[in-house]
Structure 1
Amino acid sequence: MQGLNLLYSILIVSLSGGLKVQFAYELLGYAVPLNQVAAAFLVTYAAYAFDRGVDNKEDEERGKLFKKVLLWSAILCTIASLILFPNPALLIPFLIAYLYAKGIRGFRLKGGAGVKNAVVAFTWSLLMVILLGIFSIPAMLLYMFFFSKSFVNTVIYDVRDIENDARAGIQTIPTRLKKPQLITLLVTVTVMAHGAVLYAYSCGLLANVDVILISSLHSIFYILRYCNDCEMLRNTLVDGEWILYQGIQIFRDCFM
């Protein structure tokens, strides 16, 4: 049962990852290349499945067979993503995932308050850069936006483990900051990221930003909920936020 829940969580994150690429193209006003959306889904799945499949002390409770399934599926998804989008640069996020999950000669990217959060956020942004390959000012702004979103979300995940991390001596942003300081930090980053995108839209640099308006309200909502020890619908509110936004847009287009 635990394995199925983990797999479900990885699939939700992966689908949300693919939709990020779709929304990025829509925000820039370009046609959406479905092969890149699919490649983003596959690369995201590969990175997360690999992270959960390697042998780490914190993951000893997972069965060997399930870990093998995760590792082999990660390899197959990586190959499939390269077929859909034949660019060797797609391997870079996978290599970062390896350093993050297992490391080389004892060096891992997991560590230090804010380090792993920045690494995960950078990996997401780098994947967007590789897939879109656009370096205009609006595109760079979107890369920063997705970096900020991912950074905030990874910090929120750390909120769940404050007590365990503190006992283990693991330094994370939630263990270093008091709750009011943490909320202020995350809300500030969120408002600045969304505000920058909305300002770019007002200057005519971006296309329809309805999803950004939805995201701004939704992000502040789940920051406040999670930072106040709420575990409500984690997969839907945070992991699957872009799936939720897509659902809202489909509903609006069909019934409004």
Structure 2
Amino acid sequence: MSRKQHCRAALSGDSTWFVAQLARAKHLWTVLLYSSAYLSVVTVIEVGIAMAVLSLPLSPAPAVVGLITFAVYANDRIADVDDDAVDKPEQAAFVRRHEDVLYVAAALAYGLAIALAMLGGPLALALALLPGAFWVLYASDWLPQLGSRFCRLKDVLVVNTAVVALAWAVSLTFLPVAFADGGVTPAVALVFAYFFLRSFVDTELPNVRDREGDREAGVRTLPVVLGLERTRLVLYAVDAITAAVLAYALAAGYLSVSVALALGVGLVYSLVVTSLLARYADRAWLTVAPELEYVVVGAVLSLVALG
């Protein structure tokens, strides 16, 4: 074999290896996306942000919330697989194909989360159980017993998003506080308000892509009821309230300038994503993009800490 042929063979081999790695990476991302596992990684970062802002010691709290997130959203994907087939057929097909595995994995994840939460005492255990209880109230057909014309909290405009935002804001804020045996201070209340407002936006933005399936299922979300432009204005308003909360926290001395800057950068990122809402309403990335706000915030906080 000539030198030229040898080089071509080497390049061909390198190219084949690179293509294979890309295929593996794509497959891994598909599993993380469709199973909801990527959300677990994001919530671990969120809890880390809360702990950094509140100067809390290291604890199992990030692992607990990450495991709970996977369990709740994996079960939600299984429960909503028929509705998701309208707007997200590939995800629905994945869930149907791996339903048994997802169900077992979700059960094991929640069980492990509860076991870890017990290390933090009764309050941490109660907070770990809370998201599961919220999900049952959110997704199950219990409202008719109360004489309501709605079947689930999930069907009720604004209430559906507020319930999800409340469940995660409580877990993200108070679980690490419980592990640290801390109390509810003004700083903790402000962090809770921040996560509630951010979770509201993070929940409604993916609803943009799901609007056709939600409309058919009778789920009243902002994009279904108000349309895309009015939904964008509402989310701008929530972002504005978040900015006001951060400004107050900074002025009152509950946030340092560097932390406020990191959270502010994340807020700017959110505003950019919201501004693209109507133009890219049916793109798959609109489901993932809102959650990446915390990756941005975590990266900025890490740079500040290193600098």
TM-score over 0.5 for the pair: yes
| Residue 12 (structure 1) aligns with | 38
The partner residue of 2:243 within 176, 182, 194 is: 194
| Residue 74 (structure 2) aligns with | 49
The partner residue of 2:125 within 88, 110, 114 is: 88
| Residue 67 (structure 1) aligns with | 99
Matches within 5 A, 1:129-144: 129-131=173-175, 132-133=177-178, 134-144=183-193
| Residue 147 (structure 1) aligns with | 196
- Code of the aligned partner of 1:217: V
The answer (yes or no) to whether the contact 1:11–1:45 under 8 Å persists in 2 is yes
| Residue 297 (structure 2) aligns with | 245
Once the two structures are superposed, what CA deviation does each residue of 1:114-141 show, in whole Å capped at 9, x if it has no partner? 2221111111112134402441112112
Change (3 A) 1:68 1:109: farther
What is the distance in 1 between the residues matched to 2:27 and 2:215? 25
Partner SS for 1:226? coil
Q: CA deviation at 1:178?
A: 4.3
| Residue 79 (structure 1) aligns with | 111
Once the two structures are superposed, what CA deviation does each residue of 1:61-115 show, in whole Å capped at 9, x if it has no partner? 5455511211111111112112222143111211222333344487432102222
Change (3 A) 1:45 1:201: same
Q: Percentage identity across aligned positions? A: 24
Q: CA deviation at 1:150?
A: 0.9
Q: Which structure carries more relative contact order (alpha carbon 8 Å, separation 6+)?
A: 1
Partner SS for 1:229? coil
Q: Provide structure 2 residue ranges, at least 5 long, that are not aligned to the other structure.
A: 1-25, 86-91, 119-123, 145-150
The answer (yes or no) to whether the contact 2:197–2:242 under 8 Å persists in 1 is yes
Q: Does 1:114 align with 2:151?
A: no
| Residue 33 (structure 1) aligns with | 58
What is the distance in 2 between the residues matched to 1:232 and 1:55? 17
The partner residue of 2:279 within 215, 218, 228 is: 228
Aligned residue pairs, count = 254
Once the two structures are superposed, what CA deviation does each residue of 1:203-232 show, in whole Å capped at 9, x if it has no partner? 211242232111121011001112333537
- Code of the aligned partner of 1:245: V
Change (3 A) 1:249 1:78: same
Q: CA deviation at 1:47?
A: 0.9
Partner SS for 1:47? helix
Partner SS for 1:240? helix
Give 1 or 2: higher helix fraction: 2
Change (3 A) 1:204 1:157: same
Alpha-carbon RMSD across the aligned residues, in angstroms, is 2.9
| Residue 5 (structure 2) aligns with | none
What is the distance in 2 between the residues matched to 1:177 and 1:235? 19
Once the two structures are superposed, what CA deviation does each residue of 1:131-169 show, in whole Å capped at 9, x if it has no partner? 024411121121111111111121111111334444565
What is the distance in 2 between the residues matched to 1:237 and 1:251? 21
What is the distance in 2 between the residues matched to 1:57 and 1:150? 25
Bigger-Rg structure (1/2): 2
